[in-house]
Structure 1
């Protein structure tokens, strides 16, 4: 029985693409073709490894790698890229190692698979940190071989096509990440067909009502729109043929749904007010014919001023080339026209992948250093990502850098420089060279002196004036747009004010950890390892980064906590990190035993917050205090925590038992309203004693003709015991109300 027969019989629900079926059949007959053999071996390997695995949709898992490989083949991917499409999930989902992939399929395939593989087998302190590290790794792999991101985009596109089988919250999370990162990436690489479909699929899950509404409106008006466009096409076809312009393609196409939605939002218009929801595409043989075709369009229809763009003479950073103009059609409505050659069209559709399919360039490997202009944005991204250690800042800068809304300006020598929309002369200076920015004194725009915070516009000629003694100003951080400029300014400031930053960082960490044993901790191996984990060479470098704001206190505390847990035996706590603190209205908390009551802050000074007095079983959060009291433990949702900066929050949880295996207890204050009669307090205390609950303090207030107010301080094991106790009390005939007491904001110290 042949491999293809086995495949069809074992996976009847899987529709095998014709190209794969043909490849498998030809490889059985004649195996001398190395490219085809690599693809078939990769498929068979993935098929065997994923056997028995199923997607959320219920279909065999192998359907996903097959679809990804098919997308890569349609882009013109070589055999290595298609093989990586089949194998992209096996490191993550099976026990196969990258070394084994290299041994069986070669080094190139291994690099692509490793670049795409997520870091799911590593531990990170937050989802945001995991996401940031995933992207860092992916972009580093892209620098070695741009095919990494093309494989990843194909993977994400097929996942988006099958997103309906996931839970709504996961659909939104994946769609949001796709719209913010992967669709802009596809745009940066010029892969228009991926970008448009990704954006429409994200639109479907993130704004479902708007998606359905626009889809319905476009469908309703399709026949009228097609008739109008056909009339325009007939006019253009006739005039172009009369002038001898050879037309390779002339047709109308609707704009993708998300593009229409964006225009409605940007212009604050209803759908009925958006006229150019369709565009006409003209494809001709040569550049010269593009401009001749433009003359025909402007002769046949009235052009709208300010709506002409020449992307042939001034291509976009992703190599996109075309002439764009908007004219008033025969029915009085605006109509966009795009004019390009066949090669330009291939680049617009396939982007960086176009040279795989339509040019004989040999290897499709595209290291960044070998392609100066095409990957300027990627080189810049790699430069500044090394300097950003905060995960949230990295993700925010990544989003800003990927969105393509660029402005094109010129150097005095006539070189074109592309910058993010809103960039200033300072951004331009740092784009030229770090030293130009660091010694910038002023700027001239179009031969006139300019303020440094002016936003540059298309066509500006920018000249930077430098002076040896000039240096960056921290005020520049208030208006620069590009991550490169922002990070270079910070680096200069960090180097020039190291001593001040060192003192500031040491003070911050001392307040966060407490003074006890702080000096010895700074000299310990734990602290040196913490510095390395935070990507610093020495502890002083870490403290300077902390003082400067390059790394957050929360990040440092988390790393120190992790290292302490790894190195410290669970039954032992170093003397300098022992804790004996007193929280107001609570009993002392001792941590000299084998178990800490709070997991996640082992070895650190802490106390239970008096404002909310959390109980085991309740969700809790740690807050790094500004005083010498270490970590303050609050209930999740505590009103005081809402006022705290995110970088001071520490994830924590409860340990249920002490060093002897006995349940830990925690003080809880309650207030009871009861009928004022003799013996009511005795009955309550008896009920508590029956439950083995210790009462550490009790008080009664009485007033004529009013219920008695009884205040009790109880030793409670966990939330479940507390709720059970409250319910028992509420069922007593003389009890009117029972509530838990919080001490109020006045006792919140940080």
Structure 2
């Protein structure tokens, strides 16, 4: 590969001044720079040269050379204060995906650190956050795992996304909207959580521009029309404050008005149901001083100069935001009789507000470690640790996605322990959430709560500054009602886990009954005590057979999975243990008979899905509700109802003489339009909470399952039962439906039941 030399600057693109100076300085081999700076400068120049050659001849949708994009991304990372490795990764972030260069070659040329960053960004680029629920949840999980390993990976991705948003007008409309929606829902909140304010505001405004163009233009017009009057008003306030601060010897590094970003104003108008002229903090006065002490002294000057509005003061210095933002916010009545917001901070606080996590890269603080990993001591990443914990706690994709988005968007509430320790919680959190945040056992034995020395109910929402004291009793235990008002995912999961553990005996009995009904009573007890059954438990990641039965009872594993594992284990043991009891003699006999005498070949009947009953009256048995894809058996009825079609292994066929049994099978009936469906009755045992039926029905709707009937039975303080009649095409769809429902964290048990309606004959 021909690599351009540093002085041979490309003539077909305009390089930013910082890069041009870097290339010239590298060529001149300046010796006055420290060794580390020379090494970083060399790495940056080599990465640019390499990317320039690889992307040569490639163009973006706008028609400009593709290299302009990596240059812009590298520039954004440089502005954030990124290291040479990060800036090099900005140049190279697309080469693995868009060229034939391998990660191994990246490492050979630029080192393991640059390869790690480039590979991380390449993997993130493949994630599609607008896809189906399971895939979207999996992409979130992988993204947060990558962030935990090295937070710089997501920062490079944010820089990549920001420049793509700046040039989004060159893409088709549908693609613009998809990318803008993903940016507003995922990447702007991530930038906010990382404290990178300058990225967050621009990402939100650009998303606003493409998702709601009319509202965006209207907001632009509103802000432009009032700009002259607003600037004159703010200048007068700033001048007055500057003179008062100078009199007290407080040095002001900056005192000016700053406009709010358009999407922030629009959100406030929508949230408060106000018109533009009713929003007073379209712009704010920003005061930047030297020290934290001067921040509070400046606040006294502001309140002495203008009348403060009660309840509109926020101290983010004493209680920083989760993204480490610090400032004093207050709202006062200005000289024109209108409210004005004033923000007071130090230069360091301002730097953190603009650059967030980039203001204090860990690899700089520790003297050059190669990665920025998440540690348990790092309070800046509490939210990220929670997201990682949920990956194992929340198996349901939909619930995981909802909690991820809630955690990214929601502001935290700060409450205090009686000892004065600060505990951040989600907005709307209750004393139950607080108790489980302190310790699982405190939550499990919570009997009451005091907030600000007053007894309150456990569903009382907490507010900023509340002092919370949890009362516990040894005999107290969680109530299922807590799930109706617990807000945090951690609290909800621990309540469910306690319920499952405390009802272990019931769950074991339920799992035993489910397995016995499926396999039959003959030899069942011997099977449970056998070595193959223990092997099945271990293969399903449980220590004992009882653990497996309990998990089966509350829906953590599916019946179909356990049965298949048992049959595989028995088959593997047969050569060395022929005396091992059969899992189900009846089922085995029926299957053996079916294998020995396959169903006769009948001519296909267009109007009948059953082969073997042509010209005969027949009906589908309501005791077992067979559906296509399941092994079936015909029973000659003694009445006038003809042939009754049962599932093989149905208990009602065990005592029927063999001369009344006939082999039948499902016809591969082709239907035009919507495929034929069969009514299946199911019963779902759930942890009773508000909205659980809605969640179940939504899950069925996602998989295009029609619900014919629904009935809910609840008993206070106990589990609830949901009986549903659903339309199913075949056995495969039924299994997939059961799997999706069982993934929901509130599901205790799920089974098929017999239909209560009178059977209807078919001919």
Is TM > 0.5 for Structure 1 vs Structure 2? yes
Match for residue 393 of structure 2? 387
| Aligned partners of 1:309 and 1:325 also within 8 Å | yes
Aligned pair count?
Answer: 618
Match for residue 729 of structure 1? none
Instruction: Map 1:171-320; keep pairs closer than 5 Å.
Output: 171-320=176-325
Q: Deviations over 1:187-222 (max 9, x none)?
A: 121111111111111212222211111111111111
Distance 1:172 1:530 in 2: 48
- Equivalent position SS for 1:389: coil
Does residue 1:323 correspond to 2:328, yes or no? Answer: yes
Does residue 1:18 correspond to 2:17, yes or no? Answer: yes
Alpha-carbon RMSD across the aligned residues, in angstroms, is 5.1
Instruction: Map 1:506-521; keep pairs closer than 5 Å.
Output: none
Match for residue 499 of structure 2? 493
Distance 2:362 2:704 in 1: 59
Distance 2:701 2:670 in 1: 8
CA shift, 1:24, in A, is 2.7
Change beyond 3 A, Cα 1:58–1:491:
farther
Instruction: Map 1:314-353; keep pairs closer than 5 Å.
Output: 314-353=319-358
Distance 2:333 2:456 in 1: 38
- Equivalent position SS for 2:360: helix
- Equivalent position SS for 1:480: coil
- Equivalent position SS for 2:459: coil
Distance 2:511 2:130 in 1: 22
CA shift, 1:407, in A, is 1.0
Distance 1:530 1:178 in 2: 44
Q: Paired residue for 1:128, among 130, 133, 138?
A: 133
Q: TM-score under structure 2 normalisation?
A: 0.69
Distance 1:295 1:373 in 2: 31
Distance 1:329 1:214 in 2: 24
Match for residue 484 of structure 1? 490
Change beyond 3 A, Cα 1:618–1:35:
farther
Does residue 1:34 correspond to 2:36, yes or no? Answer: no
Q: Deviations over 1:686-717 (max 9, x none)?
A: xxxxxxxxxxxxxxxxxxxxxxxxxxxxxxxx
Change beyond 3 A, Cα 1:389–1:213:
same
Q: Deviations over 1:511-570 (max 9, x none)?
A: 9x999xxx9xx99x9xx99999x999999989866764668999x99x99xxxxxxxxxx
Q: TM-score under structure 1 normalisation?
A: 0.70
Match for residue 467 of structure 2? 461
CA shift, 1:265, in A, is 1.0
Does residue 1:63 correspond to 2:68, yes or no? Answer: yes
Query: Gaps (5+ residues) in structure 2?
Result: 566-590, 613-627, 633-667, 684-699, 711-721, 733-758
Change beyond 3 A, Cα 1:119–1:214:
closer
Does residue 1:372 correspond to 2:371, yes or no? Answer: no
CA shift, 1:29, in A, is 3.6
Query: Gaps (5+ residues) in structure 1?
Result: 561-574, 591-602, 608-612, 629-633, 655-745
CA shift, 1:43, in A, is 2.8
- Equivalent position SS for 1:456: coil
Q: Deviations over 1:51-81 (max 9, x none)?
A: 4444333333333222222111100011122
Distance 2:304 2:421 in 1: 33
Distance 1:230 1:583 in 2: 87
- Equivalent position SS for 1:118: helix
- Equivalent position SS for 1:417: strand
CA shift, 1:223, in A, is 1.1
CA shift, 1:50, in A, is 3.6
Change beyond 3 A, Cα 1:123–1:346:
closer
Q: Paired residue for 1:470, among 471, 476, 487?
A: 476
Change beyond 3 A, Cα 1:110–1:585:
same
Change beyond 3 A, Cα 1:158–1:614:
farther
Does residue 1:8 correspond to 2:10, yes or no? Answer: yes
CA shift, 1:153, in A, is 1.6
Distance 1:457 1:467 in 2: 25
Change beyond 3 A, Cα 1:102–1:392:
farther
Match for residue 574 of structure 2? none
| Aligned partners of 1:389 and 1:551 also within 8 Å | no
Q: Paired residue for 1:44, among 28, 45, 49?
A: 49
- Equivalent position SS for 1:362: coil
Change beyond 3 A, Cα 1:445–1:66:
same
CA shift, 1:255, in A, is 0.7
Does residue 1:165 correspond to 2:170, yes or no? Answer: yes
Does residue 1:151 correspond to 2:145, yes or no? Answer: no
Match for residue 422 of structure 2? 416
- Equivalent position SS for 1:374: helix
Instruction: Map 1:514-553; keep pairs closer than 5 Å.
Output: 548=554
Match for residue 427 of structure 1? 433
Match for residue 457 of structure 2? 451
Change beyond 3 A, Cα 1:588–1:226:
same
Change beyond 3 A, Cα 1:144–1:615:
same
